[in-house]
Amino acid sequence: MRNIETDAVVIGGGATGAGILRDCALRGIKAILVERDDIANGTTGRNHGLLHSGARYAVTDGRSATECIAENRILKHIASHCVEETGGLFLTLPEDDLAFQDTFITSCTAAGIETKKLSRDQALKLEPNANPGMLGAVRVPDGTLDPFRLSSSNILDAVEHGGQLLNYTKVVGLIIEQGVVKGVNCVDMKTGEALAIRAQQTVNAAGIWGQQIAEYADLSIKMFPAKGSLLIMDYRINSMVLNRCRKPADADILVPGDTVSLIGTTSKKVPYEDIDTIKVDDDEIDLLITEGEKLAPILGKSRILRAYCGVRPLISVSGDTSGRNITRGIVIRDHKETDGLPGFVTVGGGKLMTYRLMAEMTTDLVATNLGSTACCVTSEKKLPGAARGEHSLPVKVSVPVSASARYRHGERSDGFLNESSKSQAVICECEMITRGELEYAINKLNARSLVDLRRRTRLGMGPCQGEVCACRAADVLQESLSVKGEVNVANDLDEFLQARWKGVLPVLWGDALREADFTYWTYQGLLGASSLKQIKHMDEEVPDYEV
Ligand SMILES: Cc1cc2nc3c(=O)[nH]c(=O)nc-3n(C[C@H](O)[C@H](O)[C@H](O)COP(=O)(O)OP(=O)(O)OC[C@H]3O[C@@H](n4cnc5c(N)ncnc54)[C@H](O)[C@@H]3O)c2cc1C
């Protein structure tokens, strides 16, 4: 068994864990993040990516609204490459109560959220695909937030300041000695190797899985898993976030995200034991389309690219199991205070867009417990890539290619855009991703598979869903990693296509069905995908065979 020592070990590589790793590193606290899969593989990679202005919560939860608008402004400053300042409209439709508009505006003002009342015509001028039957709209500073870029930028900055990421490393137990948590026992999910990480502070940032981590210490943290499903359209229907001007309900947010639009979400309580096997149900798809059409009628005629779902990590604050005391706010527990178990801290609840605040509050606690007086700097210090436009060098690639790279990686794209003509070759046309960008993700952002590359670059997330780019990207991965024996590309391509297929399956009709059929015949008929595993077999049996 391998042994490592550190000051703090953080469990869970979602936005919250990534934010804590960065905060620790910037305060000079030696920290390691362990994630059982890849970063942003949990709920962080399964939401709308809405940078709330707080307006959605203004009427029902003033505290969350105030938190949101403060973090909204901070993220626009520190993570501009992950944020699109689209603005948002809250539409009042004929079946909604127009009187609610005034309550909404008053509550927004009380929370410090700027609003502007618009007539139907003014709103349609801003958003031509919005429902022309609307009675009016209110403009708010909503935006979008890319959860994948956000997580990987936090990790990149942490690593550049001494932090360490161990992805594909699962926590299988806590090290507890004389009533004190002294770290975690882990397993390397790729090699099966056991690993013990000893630390003075162990942070449980495992989201909805935090309940399982707490159970390793016989502690009870009651999660209330609420599943939410979403659909992705194959183009950007709307340029601003569209919401319904009413109390939050199902399927009332249409969010533009990079090259596509997302409609969400449903909310269904699911048994805790089902959290790893949830899937999108047919009735949810019907509901999302029916309600989505009300926000933008064109949605009903659009091709649906895929469906996906996530589970909100909601915690019961009082240990009550009835569900009455569930909070959407941030919950932090120092188990030394609440359960007499020093060395162990749990963070949960909150939102993607409050990840930084959650990280700040958690790291404050960790720092105090470690006797560190270093202050948090994450509300001011920009993430790597957020200096978009500030240091950009002239490049010899076309504007769509350079602009896409800069949009995703800011000033960090200067290096790979100028590297060589080989690195400038476009691999994914939907998202304008070059070979150099993929190599950057492999070498600097810890991508080890095609699915990892998807999370860091949007490979295969556009309209073709990987049909055209997957085999080319596999070639880049092969060249970069297989020399070191780190990847079996044949298996990896298979996993990538299966993951894409999983999201397409629930919406398999019309154009989506035709496209899926085309993909199938491209990979199966043209490239012989089913024989790829055989190639892997040959490689293993004839190790010195070279081509
Ligand atoms: C449908 C839906 C829509 C949403 N929309 C929005 C939105 O638009 N805007 C917004 O701000 N928020 C939104 N949210 C909320 C937001 O997505 C979550 O609050 C946030 O992503 C939680 O991040 P996290 O890092 O705390 O948890 P997670 O992202 O779930 O991270 C926990 C990590 O822990 C890892 N882990 C689990 N067990 C172990 C183990 N044993 N060892 C090691 N690692 C482990 C998991 O693999 C996972 O990666 C939405 C949520 C849902 C479900």
Q: What is the C-alpha to C-alpha distance for residues 57 and 206, in angstroms, rounded to an integer?
A: 25
Q: What is the C-alpha to C-alpha distance for residues 452 and 459, in angstroms, rounded to an integer?
A: 9
> Which atom in ligand 1 lies closest to the alpha carbon of residue 350?
19
Structure tokens given for 481: 């990693």
Does the beta carbon of 209 lie inside 6 Å of ligand 1?
yes
Q: What is the C-alpha to C-alpha distance for residues 14 and 151, in angstroms, rounded to an integer?
A: 7
Residue located nearest, by CA, to atom 31 of ligand 1 = 14
Evaluate the CA torsion angle 405, 409, 414, 418 in order and state its sign. negative
Structure tokens given for 1: 């068994």
Does the beta carbon of 48 lie inside 6 Å of ligand 1?
yes
Number of H helices, E strands in the chain: 17, 24
Residue partners of 526: CB distance under 8 A and separation at least 6: none
Does the beta carbon of 257 lie inside 6 Å of ligand 1?
no
Residue pointed to by tokens 């882990």 = 186
Does the beta carbon of 42 lie inside 6 Å of ligand 1?
yes
CA of 514 to the centre of ligand 1 (A): 33
Evaluate the CA torsion angle 463, 464, 470, 471 in order and state its sign. negative
Nearest C-alpha neighbor of 363 from the set 29, 3, 1, 6: 29
Task: Please state the pTM of the whole predicted model.
Answer: 0.93
Helix (H) or strand (E) holding 497: helix 489-504
Q: Is 45 helix (H, G, I), strand (E, B) or coil?
A: helix
Q: What is the C-alpha to C-alpha distance for residues 154 and 79, in angstroms, rounded to an integer?
A: 10
In a structure prediction context, what are the per-residue pLDDT tens digits for the chain, which is 547 residues long? 899 999 999 999 999 999 999 999 999 999 999 999 999 999 999 999 999 999 999 999 999 999 999 999 999 999 999 999 999 999 999 999 999 999 999 999 999 999 999 999 999 999 999 999 999 999 999 999 999 999 999 999 999 999 999 999 999 999 999 999 999 999 999 999 999 999 999 999 999 999 999 999 999 888 889 999 999 999 999 999 999 999 888 999 999 998 899 999 999 999 999 999 999 999 999 999 999 999 999 999 999 999 999 999 888 766 555 444 566 689 999 999 999 999 999 999 999 999 999 999 999 999 999 999 999 999 999 999 998 666 566 677 888 999 999 999 999 998 898 888 899 999 999 999 999 999 999 999 999 999 999 999 999 998 888 888 999 999 999 888 865 666 678 888 888 988 888 899 999 998 888 888 898 888 888 888 777 654 444 344 433 322 2
Residue located nearest, by CA, to atom 4 of ligand 1 = 47
* Per-position b or e across 493-520, b if 16+ CB within 10 A of its CB: bbebbeebbebbebbeeeebeebbeebe
CA of 329 to the centre of ligand 1 (A): 14
Nearest C-alpha neighbor of 444 from the set 155, 16, 44, 17: 155
- Contact present, 237 and 254 (Cβ < 8 Å): yes
Evaluate the CA torsion angle 534, 540, 544, 547 in order and state its sign. positive
Q: Render 371-386 in DSSP notation, one character per residue.
A: T--PPP-TTTSPPTTT
Q: Render 247-271 in DSSP notation, one character per residue.
A: S--TT-EEEEETTEEEEE---EE--
| Cα dihedral value 362, 224, 265, 289, nearest 10 | 160
> Which atom in ligand 1 lies closest to the alpha carbon of residue 354?
11
Q: What is the C-alpha to C-alpha distance for residues 214 and 157, in angstroms, rounded to an integer?
A: 29
Residue located nearest, by CA, to atom 27 of ligand 1 = 207
Q: Which of 209, 278, 311, 362 for a ligand 1 pocket mutation test, highest count of atoms within 8 Å of Cβ?
A: 209
Q: Which of 11, 37, 44 for a ligand 1 pocket mutation test, highest count of atoms within 8 Å of Cβ?
A: 44
